[in-house]
Structures are given as C-alpha cells and as structure tokens.
Structure 1
Amino acid sequence: MASAASLSEPRVLAHAKRRLFPEDGDQNAYAVVDTQFSTAEWLAERSVPPSIRERLAPFNHVRVGSGYPDLVGVRSLDSELLAVGRFGDRPPLVAVEAKGYTTGGTVDAERGVVQAYDRLGEANAAYVAAPLAAVSRTDRTLACELNVGVLGVEPDGTVTPLERPRVVGNRTADEATAIRFQATAQGVAEKSFGLNHPKNYLAYPLALYHPDDTEEVLEERVVGATDSARTGAAFLGLIEERPDGVERTPLGGEVVRFALDRHGTVDAALSAFEEWQGSPVRFRELDPAWGAMARRVVWAYPATRLLVEELQTMYDDGIVDPSLVDLLEWLAVGHPTFAVELFVRGTDDARSRVLTADGDLRIEELSDGEVFHSPTVFQLKAMLFHAGILEDRGAEPSRLDPTTDSWRLRNPLEPLR
C-alpha cells in the first residue's frame, strides 16, 4: 500500500492538477487551489515539499456550491476525462476534491464523491481524486450515479480516469465568474499589461490596418515593445490572437474608423501618436478626442467596471480617498475571489503571505507593495488615470506604499437627493 507521505492529499491534488491542467500553453485555461494547501505542513510532522506547493499554486479560496473545492478551474478537457467532449463555446468550470492517505492509513473517497457532487450546483464538471488502490467499486458506483468523475492516482504520479462525468450546464456564481474571467484573453493571470499608456494599445489595430508590416510600423512610430502592445491590445479586446495570426475585433475596428474620421488615414493618425511619445500629460487632456476613445476602450475591460462601481460605493459610504489597502479590504468582503485574482500576485510566496489557510486577508501583509500584481496597480491604474477615471497614476510594486497609494475617482457622483 502506498504510504501517507507518497500520496498525501496535497500530492494527490498536485498530480490531478497536472493531468487536468497541464502546462501546455493553453491561453483559455486557469486554475486555483484552495488556500488550505498553501501550508508547509500537511500531516503531523510531515512537510509539503516546495515542488508540490509550486505545482499547486496559485492559491485562492473560491466558493462553489455550498463549500470550497480543493481546486477550481476552467479548461477544455479531452474525451478521456469527459463523457461529453464539447460544452458550447466556453470551456467548462471544473471542481476537484482530493482525498489522500491520513496518518491512520485510510482514504475517505466516498466523502470526496459527495463533496464533489455538491459542487455541481455551479460547476459544469466535478471530480474526486484519490489513490488508485483506495478507490473501491462502491465508490465508483456512487460517483457514476451522482455524475462525479473519479481520478485514480498512483505513487509515481500517473492519473487514470476511472469514471468520466457528463458536462452539465449550470449558472456561475460571482466567485466562480472570477475564475472564468482569468481564463480569458482579458484575465491577468500569468499575463501582464506591460505598458502603462493606452495609446500603445490603441495603436495596435491601426498598425494592423496599415499596409506595411504591423510590428515594424508599431516599433518605428509608437513603441518598441511590440509584444507587450499586442498582448495589451488583446486584453482590452481590440484584437484577437489566433494560431493563424492576429485579427481585429469589432472594438478594434471602431478604433480604426475613429482614426480615419479624425485624421483621414491611419498613417496620419500614427503620425499624431509619434508626437505624443514621452509626454507625461494625462491623455484625456493631451488629446481630448483620443482620450475619450481610450476611456471607452478601458471602460469595456470588465475589471474597470467592477472597480469603478465599488469605488463609487465606497465614496457613497464616506470613503472619499481610499488607499490600495482600503480598496482591497473592501473588495475582499463582496468580491473576495476577484479581489485576490486581480490584485495579488499569483506566486506561492505572495498568496501564502496575504491569505490565511481559510482564505482570509492578512491585512498587515498588504503594506508591502511587492505582494501586489504589477499589471493592476501600475499599468491598469495608469491607464485609468490617462482615461480620466482615476485621479492618480499607478506605481511599480517596488516603489509602492499601499497604505497611501490613492485610488480616488476623478469624478465621483454625489448621492441622489
């Protein structure tokens, strides 16, 4: 029989995650593991190797159904794992419960099946992962009846699908929606806004429309970091990156039409962009028309809408000039998963410092700028500044004092009388 050390719950979950969410570069896949697994010790006097914790990261505490699954993620799964290979146009939301050997040498796989079944109230597919040798025929029969997948894990890390679940269509609650968001081209996980001025992203669909080579036009006339410009343009929904190339989206097409209306040609528009290089002036003031277009594009980014709505609510409650710490504390109450995914770096170190095993914020750790996600607190915030939404610019985490970093709205609305 495998020992508790070789197939403890963290190890079982790590092997299951590798099978369900391999590191194959899928841009529409994302998964988090519950914060209870961020601990350095699982069973009494048994440590969790750093390699296992690294494989399990990032951590977050995401409610699905009436509880918190060990793993929740979004990914298109193959026919070996699902009884139905396709789920509409979106990959399914997957929940996993893991069971490993306890100090007494037992595995409660049946309880894992019941827990996984509970997640089907909101997840599209649910699994229990357990040591292969500990999964009984009774466990498999129960799982089959409840439409729960079973993954048998062996000591060498091999994962065998014993039962395949059918994909079900369920509503997605606010917390799980944050995970779906991360698994899109507009999510922040494992990606970044590399540039902090919206003009660099607005210029990409213009360069794409230009008859000359896109990357050369962009590098010569707007910004040298063309890869970052392309990634940011995809984040903002201006372009779509596909295996066969880059395509302009309807929003990107509207940017091009605006440029043609205002400048006559995209070449003339790019000449204007050249003149703006290096200017510290707020874009909304440097060129009000293009600043308005930037505001429209930035507003279409889902994270912007949530941030503005919550900042307005804070203002209504008398929090006129919230700091970054104030904002994260506020978001953690109403949108805890989204708050962590958007603001906290996805590394094991950052998430373990900021979150307790129960998923609560350690407020004292938020005073260190290094735990924050740069694309949000620097680049996204800078774009919100240039678009005229926020009063202050962003700052790099290394230069950030979260206790004084202001997230004040530039034009908050007064309450209706």
Structure 2
Amino acid sequence: MSSAARGLTEPHVLAYAKRRLFPDDEGYAVVDTQFATDQWLADVSIDADVREALAPFNHVHVGSGYPDLVGARVLDADMLAVERFGDTPPLVVVEAKGYTQRGGVDVERGVVQAYDRLHEANAAYVAAPVEAVSQSARTLARELNVGVLGVAGDGDVQPMEVPRLVGTHTTSETDAVQLRAGPQALTDRSFGLNHPKNYLGYPLAVAHPADTAAVLSERVVGAVDSARKGAVSLGLIESHPAGDRLTQLGREVVRFARREYGSVDAALDAFDDWKGSPTRFCDLAPRWGLLARQVVLSHPATQLLVEELQHLHEDRVREPTLVEFVTYLHELHPSFTVELFLRGNDDVRSRLLTEDGDLRTGELTDGNVYHSPTVFQLKAMCYHKGILTERGAEPSNLDPTTDVWALREPV
C-alpha cells in the first residue's frame, strides 16, 4: 500500500468525493459537523485546504442518522444508472470510509449506513480508498442500490458501482439542502434589491413587446440583473436558452396587471411613479401589496418563518429578537435554521456549531455570523409586504439582541 493511500483518512476521502460530485460549486452540499476539526486521528491533522473543501458544515438528519455529506445537484451521467430525475436536483448522501488508526477500512459498514439513508434520499454512495473496496462490498452495494466511489491516493475518484435514483419523502431538514441547490435558493445573489416592486416588475417587462432590459431599466429599476435574479428566486420567471419565460406565478402577475390597468404598459406607468418612494409597499399600493404578499409567501423559507412566528405569538412571545427566534427555530428545525440564518463559511459554522450539531447560542449576539439574504433582504421584503413589523439590516449594522422578528398581523 502506498503512503499516499495510507493518508486517505475519512476527511480526505470525503473531500475528494465532494469535489467529484459537486465540482466548481455546482449544486449545494454540506458536510457533517464532526469533520469541522483540525485533528482526525491521533497523529493526523486536517490541512486547511481539506477543511475548505469540506465546508460548509451542518448536522443534517436523513433516514436513520446523520450522513457524512448531504447535497443536491443534477449529477453527471456516469454517476447514476438513470440520467434524469424531473426538474428538482436529487438529494444525495455520502458515507465516507478511510484508513483508521489500526489501518483498516470498513467499507461494508459504510454501504449499510448509506442504505439506511435511502428512504429520505434519492441517491446514496459510500466513498472509500479504491484498493480497500472488496468484491463482496461491491456486491452488497449493488444489492442495496448504493453507489461506490473509489478514491485513489492522488485524489482521483471513479464510480465503481452506480445507484439508481429512487423516490423519497422529504423533511424540513432535507428540504433545506435542496432549497439551497435550487433556483429559489437564498444566496448573496438572490435579492440584491430590497423593494418587492422591482421583482414584480420583471414579469411585466418580459410580457411587454419591447426589449425586457430596456423596459425594466427605464420604467422600474436600473439594476436589471439584480431584478432578474430576484424574480427567479421568487419563482416568477425561469431561464430558457431562448430567453426568460414566465412561470405560472409570473403569468398571474401579468394577468393581475392587465385586469387592474387594462394593459401591461399602463401598469408599468404606475411602477414608474413609485420609483424612490420610502413608503411601505403594502401601504403605497395595497392591491399590489396583497399580490406581493402571496408571491413571497410561496417561497418555502417564508412559509416556515411565518408559521413559527405565529406559534411563538400563540405562546405569548410577541416580539422575539433575532437571537430568541433563531434559538427557538434551531430546536425545531436545526438544519433548516443553520442554512437559512447562518453564513456558510468554515469559521462561522465551526464557531457556532458543536461536533454534534448543537448551537452555541452565546455566539448569536454577533451580527456578523448571520446570512445577509435572510436577515436583510428577505426581511426587508417581508416588511414591505406587510408580513413583518420591522425592516431588515445588513449583518455589519445588526444588533441581534434588539432586532425584532414579529408578525404585523398575527392570528
């Protein structure tokens, strides 16, 4: 056995497997919090580049336990026995096995662990040093519909067995990962603008006979690219090679505009008049505000936030601070809360999460640990649409101990 192969501990195997399954930041994947460490075996440290490859970290419950990796992406054809799985990126789990202190690699145990996740995942793999994968392990994997990734000492990863995609039921925890991989993901690029009118105006510009970008920049907002990305994240348009297309929700926005104003062009005149107004949108244009409210409530993240804020109100917690809200949410939806509220870089996740995925609540008082698209942009839109009582704030200007998350109209 080469010295390079002997160095393939679980973190190294997992880092190589992640790079193969999720190259160049395609899709989204998280690695279990047990790997957020500088030391794995007694005499083996984890290099910074390996930790960087493994990040971000989260503790996601799938099936019977916590896989080493959970992600969502439309995988390469050579990784699957079936190429397509509808429009949603399949949920993928990986169990990694590497050389232990005694020099062994328990690949068959990894196969069984991966299989135990399959009723909540679409594809499951075990990743292990290629020379440690026995014929019996491959046979077991085929019988259980588990993929096998052979990892070489130089980092090359080859599929030795490929799984079939299976249907599955989802949970809020697995939904959190798929949401980050899909078009409705809340990323730093999702909502560059805080006012919902800029996103509602985009489907109108698409429906207008003139050039979409020219119409939008002249009559709605100059930041065309940001408006487009937000419209995608809200499910108003979808990208096609021939150009942007309206979704069903986007078509409803156009129908509403025609019903209210007689034409898309006349509706855009109203949008032009609203430029620069600081007034809350639901007060400035009440009927548009109601439509905007329904649009943002169709986003999965908003649905969860509103539901749990209502539960807090019923428990007589009427104006929870951001610290209180995140602490409460993490008890009920731990993985979803981490993905929605906490920044994804290694330093923040390692600082806030223990090896078992527990939340270090004392760290939540620092505004810089929060995910800006949620605490700033999404919250600002919920304010404008009459859902929340307060605007959002940039993490650098955020005091989580006084930042209130409360429904404007609790039931």
> Normalising TM by the smaller chain, what interval?
over 0.9
User: Which residue is equivalent to 1:8?
Assistant: 9
**CA distance in structure 2 between the partners assigned to 1:147 and 1:190 by the alignment:** 37
User: How much has 1:262 moved relative to structure 2?
Assistant: 2.0
The answer as to whether partners of 2:188 and 2:372 remain within 8 angstroms in 1 is: no
Tell me what 1:292 maps to. Answer: 290
Counterpart in 2 of 1:308? 306
Aligned to 1:206: 204
TM alignment of 1:129-278, pairs within 5 A: 129-189=127-187, 191-278=189-276
- 1:105–1:297 CA distance, 2 compared to 1 (3 A): same
Q: State the Cα distance separating 1:308 from its structure 2 match.
A: 0.6
Corresponding residue of 1:325: 323
Which structure 2 segments of 5+ residues have no match? none
Which residue in the other structure is 1:75 paired with?
Answer: 73
AA aligned to 1:409 is L
Q: How far, CA to CA, are the matches of 1:231 and 1:339 in structure 2?
A: 23
Aligned residue number for residue 23 of structure 2: 22
Show the 5 A alignment for 1:347-362.
347-362=345-360
- Shift in Å, 1:189: 4.4
Q: Which residue of 2 aligns with 1:381?
A: 379
Cα deviations across residues 182-212 of structure 1 (Å, max 9, x unaligned)?
2221122464311111001001011112222
Q: Does residue 64 of structure 1 match 2:65?
A: no
Moved more, 169-178 or 59-68: 169-178
1:369–1:129 distance in 2 versus 1, CA, 3 Å = same
Report the Cα offset of residue 5 of structure 1.
6.8
Does the 8 Å CA contact 1:189/1:346 hold for their aligned counterparts? no
Q: Residues 259-289 of structure 1, C-alpha deviation per residue, up to 9 Å, x if partnerless?
A: 2222233223222222222222111111111
1:74, distance to aligned residue in structure 2 (A): 1.6
Query: CA 1:242–1:376 in structure 2 vs 1: closer, same or farther (change >3 Å)?
Result: same
Q: Is the 8 A contact 2:296 2:382 kept in 1?
A: yes
Q: Distance in 2 between matches of 1:313 and 1:248?
A: 35
CA distance in structure 2 between the aligned counterparts of 1:356 and 1:406, rounded to whole angstroms: 26
Shift of 1:86: 2.6
* Aligned equivalent of 1:364, options 362, 365, 379: 362
Choose 385-394 or 237-246, whichever is displaced more. 237-246
The one-letter amino acid paired with 2:286 is P
State the alpha-carbon separation in 2 of the partners of residues 401 and 244 from structure 1: 45
Task: Read off the aligned partner of 2:237 and give its amino acid letter.
Answer: I
- 3-state SS of the aligned residue for 1:388? coil
The aligned residue for residue 48 of structure 1 is 46
Amino acid at match of 1:252: G
- Shift of the 316–5 alpha-carbon distance from structure 1 to 2, 3 Å rule, reads farther
Distance 1:204 1:15, change over 3 A: same
Q: Relative to structure 1, is the Cα distance of residues 333 and 388 closer, same or farther in structure 2, using a 3 angstrom cutoff?
A: same
Looking at structure 2, the residues matched to 36 and 318 of structure 1 have their Cα atoms a distance apart, in angstroms, of 36
CA distance in 2, matches of 1:280, 1:190: 23
Conserved in 2, the CA contact under 8 Å of 1:189 and 1:341?
no
Map Cα deviations across residues 49-74 of structure 1 (whole Å, 9 max, x no partner). Answer: 22212211221111111100001112
Residues 65-92 of structure 1: CA distance to partner in whole angstroms, max 9, x if unpaired? Answer: 1100001112222342222223344332
Corresponding residue number in structure 1 for 2:113: 115
In 2, the alpha carbon distance for the partners of 1:38 and 1:207 equals 46
Q: Is the partner of 2:29 in helix, strand or coil?
A: strand
| Alpha-carbon distance in 1 for matches of 2:17, 2:232 | 31
Q: TM-score, normalised by structure 2?
A: 0.95
Q: Return closer, same or farther for 1:302/1:241 CA change in 2, 3 Å cut-off.
A: same
Query: Given that residues 5 and 46 in structure 1 are in contact (C-alpha distance below 8 angstroms), is that contact kept between their aligned partners in structure 2?
Result: no
Length, aligned pairs only: 410
Question: Aligned equivalents of 1:278 and 1:47: distance in 2?
Answer: 54
Encode CA deviations 1:83-112: one digit per residue, 9 max, x unaligned: 222334433221100011123222121211
Residue 392 of structure 1 aligns to a residue whose secondary structure is coil
Report the secondary structure of 1:73's partner residue.
Answer: strand
Q: Secondary structure at the match of 2:150?
A: strand
List gaps (5 residues or longer) in structure 1: none
Aligned mates of 1:326, 1:229 — CA distance in 2: 32
More divergent stretch after superposition (15-24 vs 247-256): 15-24
Deviation track 1:36-56 (CA, whole Å, cap 9, x = no partner) reads 112122222432222212211
Work out the CA distance in 1 between the residues paired with 2:75 and 2:108.
24
Local SS of the residue matching 1:129:
strand
Residues 380-417 of structure 1, C-alpha deviations (whole Å, 9 max, x = no match): 1011101111010000111001111000111111xxxx
2:85 to 87, 92, 97: 87
Shift of 1:328: 0.8
Q: Secondary structure at the match of 2:278?
A: coil
Distance in 1 separating the partners of 2:187 and 2:14: 20
Query: Structure 2: how far apart are the matches of 1:5 and 1:354?
Result: 32
The 1-side partners of 2:393 and 2:12 are apart by: 38
1:36 aligns with 2:34: yes
Q: Percent identity, aligned pairs only?
A: 65
RMSD over aligned CA atoms reads: 1.6
- Give 1:257's aligned amino acid: R
3-state SS of paired residue (2:108):
helix
Q: Distance in 1 between matches of 2:192 and 2:356?
A: 32
Q: Residues 147-169 of structure 1, C-alpha deviation per residue, up to 9 Å, x if partnerless? A: 21111101111111111122222
Specify whether residues 243 and 411 from structure 1 end up closer, same or farther in structure 2 by C-alpha distance, changes over 3 A only: same
